[in-house]
Chains A and B, each alone.
Chain A
Amino acid sequence: MAAYLLRRLIQSALILLGVSFITFFLLYVLPADPVRQIAGRSATAETVENIREQLGLDKPFIVQYARYLGALVQGDMGRSYLQKTEVAELIQSRLPATLLLMAGAIFCELVLGLTMGIVAALWRGKALDQTLMVTSFVTVSAPQFVVSLLLLYIFAVKLGWFPIGGYGTFAHLVLPAVTLGILGSGWYSRMMRSSMVDVLRADYIRTARAKGLTRARIVLRHALPNAILPVIAMIGIDIGVFMGGIVVVESVFGWPGIGQLAWQAIQRVDIPIIMGVTLVSAFAIVLGNLLADLVAPLIDPRIRLR
């Protein structure tokens, strides 16, 4: 187990290194000059060159990358080119909002997705099952921009149940969390349904039924715990999916998280922020996957970590 963990940690570090290299390289070859963004349109050629030199952007790629990495391992993510604020401070100030939104979204998708999946499995092949599976298909494919505006319009503007975007109270959290949760719930309902269907076919369920247990007891005590665990283990992997959706949802709802920060930085070619947010997201995804793998054998003893 310890050897496994060590190997996975080394792998994770290598993945992060790879991500940092690829991102840095892509930003380097991008046909957009960050110095021009900083210098503005009235800058003279000397000003542009002077800024380039001060930021070390006149150096070859490998030197720039080595410098970035050198600072990074000392915990220095640099300063934003345009805001001149420390990237670590910018991310730190926005991370709690993103984590809160993720927690809310995971809660929503589990409640929605698992309920839909269980109901569909129990009424397998019936109209209810088919309706739910079509619904899940719709939620998985609906663009989040549309879903978020739709929810905002109905529940905040028309009904006035929730504030129109913003951050601060529980009421602010509901709509963005539901928007993100709806997307995930489609996947979870399908996974839950197939897992449940498999379990319901298993021998021990037949035994239980032969013992004369009630249907409710069979489902709740015997089938559900076994069917639900592999689905729960997917949460770790889900974090990666969220990172994509968060950019859109945070923008629409005015949620001050790192997705919004990333979107603004990309538009302004603010390389230190783009690097910082990418690495933090990559770290979250790597960590999520690692946790998912570590939890798996606890859920299903047949899985061994080697």
Chain B
Amino acid sequence: MKKLLASTAVVLALALPVLAQDYTPDANAKPGGTITITYKDDVATLDPAIGYDWQNWSMIKSLFDGLMDYVPGTTTLRPGLAESYEISPDGLVYTFKLRAGVKFHNGREMTAEDVKYSLDRVTNPETQSPGAGFFGSIAGFENAGPGGLSGVEVVDPLTVKITLSRPDATFLHVMALNFASVVPKEAVDEAGADFGKKPVGTGAYKLAEWTLGQRLVFEKNADYWRPGVPFLDSIVFEVGQEPVVALLRLQNGEVDVPGDGIPPAKFTEVMSDPAQAERVVIGGQLHTGYITLNVGIAPFDKVEVRKAINMAINKDRIVQIINGRAVPATQPLPPSMPGYTEGYAGYAYDPEGAKALLAEAGLADGFETELYVMNTDPNPRIAQAIQQDLAAIGITATIQNLASANVIEAGGAGTAPMIWSGGMGWIADFPDPSNFYGPILGCAGAAPGGWNWSKFCDEGLDAKAVAADSMFDPTKSAERLAAWSDVYMGVMEQAPWVPVFNEERYTMKSERMGGEDALYVDPVSIPVNYDYVWVKQ
């Protein structure tokens, strides 16, 4: 009996943070109006189980909701379709209470059955979801198929119980991923493979029109369950617009946000014109650009060589090449990511010291190697800067300039000695330090075809990472972040990467756009958090 009481107390404690924070929209915000966003490429799909590029990510966020969500403009979790949740003392059972009266765009009320259906669907191999792997900690994931996930149970129409096979501190973030969006079964069945073109969700907007290759129109969901939002009546996405052309149209007052950002060729011009620069919002991004050093290929198997290369790269100069649109990086995690190690200076630029280290490794005369790089600007120019830095310490690097798919292939196969990650660099799926480890630095990602292009695998660090991720208790979050900080310091000790820079985001908007700046550099909704922005006239 005593034990039971104690565990109830824990449950209550864990349930508490749920209602703590929420967000107050801009008091000056006015409802109404339409904005125009442009993109170069057509939208691939709006199916939340499939969509996985930075273009459709925020669109899907506005059409669908998951159990969890983020406070706009921040990396702080808040409940979404779940009104509250409880975590069992062992961290293995999550019980979500759903909001009552939430309606899908087709008018039907959302229930716990829909949550189960959606999770079953995204993990069913037949769905071919690129995000299925995120749900690996749910019990029964290995046997997921048409029969569904055994770990997800419907308790009553407004309660879902999810049982995990291992404690997973990132699980609430996973429930906030687009892949965990709740979809209505009847709409998926009806549209079949075309659900990505005929999306039906519970989100702030619904799809009103999609003319392939030309435009998409999102219309305000008048029945949206969050009161007062969204503000805009509609959003028009015009696709097939070159970034340079989009910028000209913005200057002409025809476009509100160029979705592909400010084109590099126009960046200096825009930023040096005060009238234009004041409409640019700058913010951090959960991104790191790095050089991978393949520990499976000599002489990168020697830690001295990897450290020497870390010291040889002049990061400030590389940042200059991209017009200062980034900050030099010291470690794998970007500064805006929880778990970032403050005060760690990384490897300072020191070509002489680098030469000495090479000599120590018995390579005083340098060596020859290859640097793989994606062939779109500015990456080849950055690769040349790296090449020069390497030449200064006696290393001759040949540049392999390839299409991104080919670089990714060589990286996965482990045939590339060095890769500059530009254009393919890691952008976090969710704002948690674990997301920068497993796939790109952990042993799992080092398997053939994985994204760990250094093929770096330290089982000790892997064990630490697993331990950190089993610290599921939200009140121990600080300890967990400290554990992650240790993991990344351990990585830097062995130097499988040269962290080069963290890109900053520059979102340009028209004069009539309203809402606080944080909404325009929202860490999870790129480029803009559509649910909370508004227009002045």
Q: Cβ of B405 and Cβ of A41 under 8 Å apart?
A: no
Interchain CB contact (< 8 A) of B242 among A90, A165, A167: A165
A122 CB contacts on chain B under 8 angstroms: none
What separation, in Å, do the CA atoms of A39 and B194 have in the docked complex? 18
Query: What residue of chain A has the Cβ atom nearest to residue B447's Cβ?
Result: A45
Residue from the set B44, B130, B194, B406 with the largest chain A CB neighbour count within 10 Å? B130
What separation, in Å, do the CA atoms of A83 and B252 have in the docked complex? 33
Q: Cβ of A256 and Cβ of B213 under 8 Å apart?
A: yes
Interchain CB contact (< 8 A) of A32 among B47, B245, B249, B403: B403
What separation, in Å, do the CA atoms of A164 and B38 have in the docked complex? 13
| Stretch with Cβ within 8 A of B (4 or more), from A48-56, A132-140, A201-209, A291-299 | A48-56
* Known contacts A47-B133, A84-B194; is-contact A260 B406 (Cβ 8 Å): no
Measured between C-beta atoms, what is the minimum distance from B430 to chain A in Å? 11
Measured between C-beta atoms, what is the minimum distance from B24 to chain A in Å? 34
Q: Cβ of B429 and Cβ of A260 under 8 Å apart?
A: no
B175 CB contacts on chain A under 8 angstroms: none
Within 8 A of A (CB), among B431-469: 439, 444, 447, 449-451
What separation, in Å, do the CA atoms of A11 and B326 have in the docked complex? 57
Contact flags B404-432 to A (C-beta < 8 A → 1, else 0): 11101110100000000000000001000
What separation, in Å, do the CA atoms of A31 and B415 have in the docked complex? 12
B186 CB contacts on chain A under 8 angstroms: none
Q: Cβ of B406 and Cβ of A47 under 8 Å apart?
A: no
* Known contacts A79-B193, A149-B244, A164-B254; is-contact A38 B128 (Cβ 8 Å): yes
Measured between C-beta atoms, what is the minimum distance from A140 to chain B in Å? 24
* Known contacts A44-B133, A84-B196; is-contact A165 B409 (Cβ 8 Å): no
Q: Cβ of A251 and Cβ of B409 under 8 Å apart?
A: no
Q: Cβ of A40 and Cβ of B52 under 8 Å apart?
A: yes
What separation, in Å, do the CA atoms of A97 and B405 have in the docked complex? 29
Measured between C-beta atoms, what is the minimum distance from B422 to chain A in Å? 15
What separation, in Å, do the CA atoms of A84 and B194 have in the docked complex? 7
Q: Cβ of B45 and Cβ of A256 under 8 Å apart?
A: no
Measured between C-beta atoms, what is the minimum distance from A284 to chain B in Å? 18
Q: Cβ of B214 and Cβ of A256 under 8 Å apart?
A: yes
A253 CB contacts on chain B under 8 angstroms: 245
Which bucket holds chain A's interface residue count? 35 or more
Contact flags B212-243 to A (C-beta < 8 A → 1, else 0): 11100000000000000000000000111110
Measured between C-beta atoms, what is the minimum distance from A207 to chain B in Å? 56
User: A182 within 8 Å of B by Cβ?
Assistant: no
Q: Cβ of A42 and Cβ of B128 under 8 Å apart?
A: no
What separation, in Å, do the CA atoms of A37 and B238 have in the docked complex? 24
Q: Cβ of A36 and Cβ of B449 under 8 Å apart?
A: yes
Measured between C-beta atoms, what is the minimum distance from A46 to chain B in Å? 8
Within 8 A of B (CB), among A97-152: 97, 149, 152
Q: Cβ of A164 and Cβ of B408 under 8 Å apart?
A: no
Q: Cβ of B405 and Cβ of A42 under 8 Å apart?
A: no
Interchain CB contact (< 8 A) of A51 among B128, B131, B248: B128
What separation, in Å, do the CA atoms of A165 and B245 have in the docked complex? 7
Interchain CB contact (< 8 A) of B241 among A45, A46, A165: A165
A83 CB contacts on chain B under 8 angstroms: 44-45, 196
User: A82 within 8 Å of B by Cβ?
Assistant: yes
Q: Cβ of B439 and Cβ of A41 under 8 Å apart?
A: yes
Measured between C-beta atoms, what is the minimum distance from A267 to chain B in Å? 8
Main secondary structure of the interface of A (DSSP, over half): helix
User: A252 within 8 Å of B by Cβ?
Assistant: yes
Q: Cβ of A43 and Cβ of B132 under 8 Å apart?
A: yes
* Known contacts A43-B133, A83-B44, A94-B213; is-contact A157 B252 (Cβ 8 Å): yes
* Known contacts A82-B44, A82-B45, A254-B241; is-contact A47 B213 (Cβ 8 Å): no
Q: Cβ of A167 and Cβ of B214 under 8 Å apart?
A: yes
Q: Cβ of B449 and Cβ of A48 under 8 Å apart?
A: yes
A166 CB contacts on chain B under 8 angstroms: 238, 241
Query: What residue of chain A has the Cβ atom nearest to residue B125's Cβ?
Result: A50
Interchain CB contact (< 8 A) of A38 among B40, B42, B130: B130
Q: Cβ of B133 and Cβ of A164 under 8 Å apart?
A: no
User: B524 within 8 Å of A by Cβ?
Assistant: no
Interchain CB contact (< 8 A) of A39 among B42, B130, B211, B405: B130
Query: What residue of chain A has the Cβ atom nearest to residue B444's Cβ?
Result: A44
Measured between C-beta atoms, what is the minimum distance from B512 to chain A in Å? 18
Contact flags A169-204 to B (C-beta < 8 A → 1, else 0): 000000000000000000000000000000000000
B136 CB contacts on chain A under 8 angstroms: 44
User: A261 within 8 Å of B by Cβ?
Assistant: yes
Residue from the set B131, B213, B244, B450 with the largest chain A CB neighbour count within 10 Å? B213
B252 CB contacts on chain A under 8 angstroms: 157, 164
Measured between C-beta atoms, what is the minimum distance from B34 to chain A in Å? 16
Measured between C-beta atoms, what is the minimum distance from A265 to chain B in Å? 10
A42-B131, A42-B133, A44-B444 known, 18 other contacts, Cβ within 8 Å = A30-B406, A32-B409, A38-B130, A39-B128, A41-B439, A42-B439, A44-B132, A47-B125, A48-B449, A54-B126, A79-B193, A149-B244, A164-B248, A164-B254, A253-B245, A254-B245, A256-B212, A268-B44
A–B complex contacts, Cβ < 8 Å, 20 sampled: A30-B405, A32-B406, A32-B409, A38-B130, A41-B451, A43-B130, A44-B133, A47-B125, A47-B128, A47-B132, A48-B449, A83-B44, A85-B194, A85-B196, A85-B197, A97-B213, A166-B241, A250-B240, A251-B240, A269-B405
Closest 4 CB pairs of A and B: A40-B130, A32-B405, A256-B213, A93-B212
Task: List the interface of chain B (C-beta within 8 A of A).
Answer: 40-42, 44-45, 47, 50, 52, 125-126, 128, 130-134, 136, 193-194, 196-197, 211-214, 238-242, 244-245, 248-249, 251-252, 254, 403-406, 408-410, 412, 429, 439, 444, 447, 449-451
